[in-house]
Amino acid sequence: MVKISWEEYQRIRDLKELDIEVCEFGCVNILNLGWPAFKQVGCQKHQRKHVLCPQLCYKAAKNILDCELYQLSRKKQLKKPVKPNLTYDKCACYLCGKELKGAGKTGKIKNRNNPGFWGLKVAYKILCLECVGRKFYEKMRAGKRKTWKKYVRRGYE
């Protein structure tokens, strides 16, 4: 038995088919209501895939199924970065793909978007300040951390 609110009932009342998902233990999920899909997990022990709802079944499945469960990850699509001098005054971060403003009339990247400026030796050529802080903050020297905080406070990208 699945309980739904009155608003949800009004949305699915006129539908002829419901998109229903059932987990390994019989829990029902109605996808037509915009509910998130159940997680797919894999078992290393039995080399199988299971569809489990997150609240009840994940904890119970380890005991009942005697499985070594792990969450299956979706393949991430790599974003293709924009080349630095493709158009005037445009470049993009190699990690998140965020559009950055280039320097002056040449349109080349600004020093703050160059990982070498921060003392980082990485394969990426252009990084926004957000990605530098998220991924490489611990690797920076104390003086560069202070400079990074100053740039972020000023609102630079």
Q: What is the pLDDT of residues 55-106, one digit of tens each?
A: 666 666 666 666 666 666 555 566 666 555 555 556 788 888 888 877 777 7
Query: Per-residue pLDDT averaged across 12-20, rounded?
Result: 79
pLDDT at res. 66: 62
pLDDT of residue 16: 78
Supply the pLDDT for residue 104: 72
Closest to 157 in 3D by CA, of 137, 129, 132: 129
87 vs 67: CA distance, rounded Å: 53
Single-letter amino acid, residue 120: L
Spatial separation of the C-alpha atoms in residues 27 and 23, rounded to whole Å: 5
> Which parts of the chain are beta strand (E)?
20-22, 28-30, 39-43, 48-52, 69-71, 90-92, 99-101
pLDDT digits (tens, 9 = 90+) for 30-53: 787 777 777 777 776 767 776 777
Q: How sure is the predictor about 15, in pLDDT bands with cuts at 50, 70 and 90?
A: confident
Tell me, yes or no, if the pTM score tops 0.75. no
For 94-146, write each residue's pLDDT tens digit: 888 888 877 777 767 788 888 899 999 888 888 899 999 999 999 999 999 99
In this prediction, residue 147 has a pLDDT band, given cuts at 50, 70 and 90, of very high
